[in-house]
Amino acid sequence: MPSPTRELIEIQLGATKRKSLTGLVRQYRQAGHGWRKIAAVVSRESGIPVSHTTIARWFESDSTPTPKAVAL
């Protein structure tokens, strides 16, 4: 269940920018940006302050590479 802050950011981004938080984070991560940069963009775009630690906690599992099987 998303936190109230995350839900509020999603609402703000959707209402004002026609963006989703997940889409924004995915776009910046794929471009190689770190959590601090992403948090700054999310805070600016949504008008809701959020830390890089919080953004990372929300999305870290999404960006963790899946281990690949190794043939023995």
- How many residues are listed for the chain in this entry? 72
12-59 residue pLDDT tens: 998 877 889 999 999 999 999 999 999 999 999 999 999 999 999 999
> What pLDDT is stored for residue 17 in this prediction?
78
62 vs 1, higher pLDDT: 1
Residue ranges per structural domain of the chain? 4-62
Predicted model pTM: 0.79
Alpha-carbon span 52 to 28, nearest angstrom: 13
CB 59 within 8 A of CB 25: yes
